Structure 1
Amino acid sequence: MGISSYNELIAYLENITRTESRILDSEEKFHSIKEEYHTVNYPDIKNKIIIMKKDKEGIFTSFPNEEVIKDKFTIRVKRRNIHFPKHRHQYIEIVYVLEGRVIQNINDQKLEMGKGDICILDKNVQHNSEPLNESDVVINMLLTPEFFDCVFMNLLSDDNHISNFIVNSLYSMNTTQKFITYHVEEKTTLHVILESLLKEYFSEKTRSFVAINGYLLIFFTELSRGLTENKEEAIDKFLKSLKNDLLLYIKDNFKNCDLKTMSKHFHFHPNYLSNLIKKEFGKNLKDILTELRMAEASHLLEKSDRTIESIMEQVGYTNLSYFYKVFKKQYGCTPLNYRKGIDK
């Protein structure tokens, strides 16, 4: 028998916190993390641990445990009796307040969250939360980037800058990422989806990950819509500035530029960057690079006496026959005939 109502869900989650309290009161090591390498038991999940250790900068970093690596997604009740130092994750965390409140310190900014508030923390955001009161019920959802690979990358095909921006902000390769906050109004689609997701997940005997994946997909879709009105102006401004930066980078690096290298430079997921370039320039990166390389090749043929092989290498090609093929498609003649035509 699964959890069928919100009241049943709250009662189930509160029972978990009461069980933890009894266990944690007798375990000094749960109250604070002080060692260079430390593991913490989660009593509500059998034989599962979360792993935290200091990185080279002295910052505690939480790594996905076996459960999260295997399932790529998990939901936990936020602990009332464990004090965690400021730390960051190697996965994405979604904090949702069902009852009461929680105060989070994120990137040296204090954020007070009340009932219905969501905070989505990207990887590597430094944060910690202040102790909860007995009436507070808060859950954490943990998602690995691989989970987005499997489930959410189709959001990138949505013709919507907001969706693309949200997915990228969650799945960026940057080491100093941001967070997203949003308030979920009761009885909205987003509220119903979140409640359904939690009831499904904590109904362990009847749990369906197919249903959970579906709820999460709708959750991010609805979140995109909800954020559109109050975020669109800022995102449009961001994209306008970004378009100039992208074009400048491509022009400066057209010889060796590729999607993977460019993604690392801008701290973007390759799928997001590819989609963004197509939206902003009306063509894909390969076509833009070809145009720039051919323009430079024609310029060198006109203004220099360098060999065609030398020019080919200068503009980023290594195969002469392929270079001839691309050049002929662009200008209707071979590089040699192009040069001869100019000489006449």
Structure 2
Amino acid sequence: MYQFTENQFSHFFNYLETLDCYTKSEEGMIEEIAAFQQNPNRHIAALVCQNISEVLTYPAPYIRILYVLSGSINIYLDGKKMTYEKGCLILANKWTEVDYKENTKDTMVVSFYFKPEYFSDSLLNQMIEEPMLYRFFVESITEDTEIFSHYCVYQFNEWDDVHFYVLLLLKQVVKMRYFNNKVTKSAFILLIVEISQMSEKCLLLQDSNISAGVLIKEILGYISNNVRIATLTNVAHQFHFHPNYLSAMIKKQTGRSYSDWLTYYRLEQAKRYLEQTNLSIQTIIKEVGYSDKTFFFKRFKTYCKMTPGNYRKNFNYKYK
């Protein structure tokens, strides 16, 4: 577990101040959010707020993460007042009204703002093993879902690793001038995984909204990442459904059967193995969950209009 010293904190925030992410007025925060909104190349923004006496009510129609670095704040979530101390972390979608007031002079609050474009499929797939937070982010960026407030409130200890990962993400976002890069997204994933791992003891409050469409996306994401073991029975057990109910729900929501989806993901994975590795075809067959070579060849030829061997040869020839 990493612990910051007082000197490190001082050096850290001195560095951040040189990069203009440190604000002491609501007007400054509004200007920064406006600049963020107007720049199509920026998908993430971060601010550190300190010494603001009024209630902050500025509009921020983005997915947000707020973290109390020090002191305490009064939070107004959809008009409901709550008081939280250092270590409080709030996730909120763009429909949630989040106003807050700093209670003490030493209060510092970090705010991260995310545009939907930040959450690429590859980034979301890295969260698939953290189901509650995966659902939160997918729900928050899906345009065709109902409009409703969605939030989670946690209370961490200042010595928890979440504290370190918030600062790591903050520094990386500011250092890269708010533009995306692999290290920034890696820092974000580290923070999300740590939040998820500590949810059982640190989650204080959350709404209960979740749409069937988002749940289906989570299930399909799980199948895609676990094709070798993703039988209907295994996946139903993973998500606490009866197999027949899960099968019917997928059919109703997507128009395709569970078997169709599993076949699609297995064959797409087989194609990636053929394109990107030197694994033998027999090994690939096992890796994607098939036990019958003849059955696999038949399915693959129907899907790709050629045998696995010819597919690999054609791909290698095309990209030499």
TM-score of the pair, normalised by structure 2: 0.55
Q: 1:148 aligns with which of 74, 99, 119?
A: 119
Q: Which residue number in structure 2 is paired with residue 8 of structure 1?
A: 11
Percent identity between the two aligned chains: 13
The reply on whether 1:135 has 2:119 as its aligned counterpart is: no
Q: Which secondary structure state, in structure 1, belongs to the residue aligned with residue 41 of structure 2?
A: helix
Native 8 Å contact 1:104 1:127 kept in 2: yes
Distance 1:72 1:175, change over 3 A: same
Distance 1:17 1:273, change over 3 A: same
The reply on whether 1:210 has 2:200 as its aligned counterpart is: no
Native 8 Å contact 1:200 1:212 kept in 2: yes
Q: Which residue number in structure 1 is paired with residue 64 of structure 2?
A: 93
Distance 1:138 1:7, change over 3 A: same
Counterpart code for 1:219: L
Distance 1:96 1:20, change over 3 A: closer
Q: 1:285 aligns with which of 242, 245, 250?
A: 250
Native 8 Å contact 1:155 1:163 kept in 2: no
Deviation, 1:105, is 0.8
The reply on whether 1:167 has 2:132 as its aligned counterpart is: no
Q: Which secondary structure state, in structure 2, belongs to the residue aligned with residue 167 of structure 1?
A: helix
Distance 1:18 1:225, change over 3 A: closer
Distance 1:137 1:214, change over 3 A: same
Q: Which residue number in structure 1 is paired with residue 83 of structure 2?
A: 112
Q: 1:179 aligns with which of 106, 131, 151?
A: 151
Alpha-carbon distance in 1 for matches of 2:198, 2:72:
22
Runs of 4+ in 1 over 6 A off after TM superposition: 14-19
Alpha-carbon distance in 2 for matches of 1:108, 1:132:
18
Counterpart code for 1:285: I
Distance 1:269 1:78, change over 3 A: farther
Alpha-carbon distance in 2 for matches of 1:19, 1:214:
23
Native 8 Å contact 2:23 2:47 kept in 1: no
Alpha-carbon distance in 2 for matches of 1:30, 1:94:
20
Deviation, 1:215, is 0.8
Distance 1:134 1:227, change over 3 A: same
Give 5+ residue unaligned stretches, structure 2: 1-6, 223-234, 258-320
Alpha-carbon distance in 2 for matches of 1:164, 1:187:
25
Matches within 5 A, 1:216-295: 216-228=188-200, 263=213, 268=214, 271-272=217-218, 274-275=220-221, 279=239, 280=241, 281=243, 282-283=246-247, 285-286=250-251, 289=255
Deviation, 1:104, is 1.7
Q: State the structure with bigger RCO (CA 8 A, min sep 6), 1 or 2.
A: 2
Alpha-carbon distance in 2 for matches of 1:115, 1:175:
31
Q: Which residue number in structure 1 is paired with residue 34 of structure 2?
A: 50
Cα root mean square deviation, aligned: 4.3
Q: Which residue number in structure 2 is paired with residue 59 of structure 1?
A: none
The one-character-per-residue Cα deviations of 1:266-302 (angstroms, maximum 9, x if unpaired) are xx387337458974445472488567xxxxxxxxxxx
Distance 1:204 1:175, change over 3 A: same
Native 8 Å contact 1:151 1:213 kept in 2: no
Q: Which secondary structure state, in structure 1, belongs to the residue aligned with residue 64 of structure 2?
A: strand
Counterpart code for 1:162: M
Counterpart code for 1:5: Q
Native 8 Å contact 1:89 1:125 kept in 2: no
Alpha-carbon distance in 2 for matches of 1:197, 1:290:
40
Deviation, 1:143, is 0.8
Counterpart code for 2:137: V
Q: Which secondary structure state, in structure 2, belongs to the residue aligned with residue 50 of structure 1?
A: helix
Distance 1:30 1:225, change over 3 A: closer
Distance 1:16 1:148, change over 3 A: closer
Counterpart code for 1:8: H
Give 5+ residue unaligned stretches, structure 1: 32-38, 43-48, 52-63, 247-262, 292-344
Larger Rg: 1
Alpha-carbon distance in 2 for matches of 1:186, 1:143:
24
Alpha-carbon distance in 2 for matches of 1:101, 1:120:
17
Deviation, 1:103, is 1.6
Alpha-carbon distance in 1 for matches of 2:82, 2:114:
22
